[in-house]
Structure 1
Amino acid sequence: MLARQFLLGIVSFVCFVKSDPENSKNLPPTHELNKNFTINYQEVFQSSSLTCVKTVEVVKNNSKKGDQVAVYASIETFHSTVKIIEETVQHEDFDHKSATIYSEHVAEVVVSYSKVVTALVEHPSIEKGCHGKLKEVNISVQKIINAYTQVGVCVKKVVEKKGGVDTITLSSLNLELNFMDLEVENEDAEFEEDPNEKKHLKGTHTHQDKAGDKE
C-alpha cells in the first residue's frame, strides 16, 4: 500500500512540475524506495512540503481567474501529496524521533492546507465544486496529526510557528482539525529558541481563542 501511494504521488509531482519546472529538482527519486520499501524520509517530507506550499499559490491564482478545473486539479495534486505523508507516518519504522525531525515539514503541510481553504472560501462557486475533495484532504491531514500524537509528538506549537490554522474559516466550511493536548518532555521536541524554557508542547488556535490571538 505504501509503495503504491508513493509511486502515485510521484506521478502527481510530475504533473505539478509541468506548471512549475523548477520543481523537477525536488522530486523524490523512485530508487529511494527499495525492494523492502525502505523510505528516504528526508526526500519524502521535503518534496511533499514544497509541493503543498507551492500548490497554495497555484490555487490562489487559478481561483482569481475563475478556473475551477485547474483549481480542482491542483487540490487533487495536494491530496495525493498529503496521502504520501499519511502513508509514510503510518509506516512501522516511523517513530518519535522521526516524527520530531520532520515535524516542521508536516507543519508546513498543515498550514498550507489551511491557506488553500482560506483561498477557496473567497470564491464560493469554485469552493463548492471542490468541497468534496477538500473533505478528503482534511481527513488525510487529521490522520497525519493523529499519527504524530500516537508516537508522542504534538505538532501544535510548530504549526503555530509556521503561521497557524485558521479554524474559523475551516469551521465555516464544516471542516475541522483536532490537535490533542500532549505534553512531551523530550529535548528533541522543543523548537523554542530559549533553551531554558520548559519542553512542553501546548496551545493552538481554537474556536474560542482564535479571534483574540490571530496575528
Structure 2
Amino acid sequence: MTIRVLVADDQDLVRGALAALLGLERDLEVVAEVGTGDAVLPAVREHRVDVALLDIEMPGMDGIAVAGQLAGTGCRSLVVTTFGRPGYLRRAMDAGASGFVVKDTPAGQLAEAVRRVHAGLRVVDPMLAAESLTSGHNPLTAREREVLGAALTGASAAEIATRLHLSEGTVRNHLSGAIGKTGTRNRAAAASVARENGWL
C-alpha cells in the first residue's frame, strides 16, 4: 500500500529536497507540498494525506499548532525540524504529533519514521528524548508564553496589553512571573531563555 505524504516547510529548497528523497521510496508518494502552516489542513483534506511532515517555524500557524489541528483527522503528523529543542518535542507530542525528528536524520531513517508513524507508532529522535527527560517540563503558563512571545518583538507592556486585550498591570505581572521562573533579570532575557528551550 502506498503511503500518501505531505511536506510542509517554508523553505523551498528544504521542502523540495525532502519531497525528492521520500519520492525515491517505492511505498511513499508525496502528494502535496505547502509552505505555510495554514495551508496544511486544506491540503490534507484535498489530497487524502496519510502522514504530514511538519516544520515547526512556518508563516501562519506553526507546526506544533498544525499537529494539534490534525489530531483526530486520520492524518498522522511527523515533526521534522532544525530546532531540536526538548521543549518543542514535549509540546509537539502533547499537541498530538506522532513523531519528532531533526532535519539531519538520514533519508532512510526518515522514510522508516514515516512508515512507523503511519503504522500508528511513535517515533522520537533518541538524543532529544533523553534531553527532554532531563530538562524537565515547561514552567511557564499559557498566558506567560503568550506575553513573552509578544515581548520577543520588542513591544512595550502597553503595546502587548493592547494586542492581547489585557490590562498593562496584568501584562507586567505575567512578565514578572516569567522572569522569575526562567531565573533571568529582564523580559528580553526571559524570552530568550524560553525560546532556546522551546517553551514558546
| Structure with more relative contact order (C-alpha pairs < 8 Å, separation 6 or more) | 1
In terms of fraction of residues, the more helix-rich structure is 1
Q: State the TM-score, normalizing by the size of structure 1.
A: 0.31
Q: State the TM-score, normalizing by the size of structure 2.
A: 0.32
In terms of fraction of residues, the more strand-rich structure is 2
Instruction: Give 1 or 2 for the bigger CA radius of gyration.
Output: 2
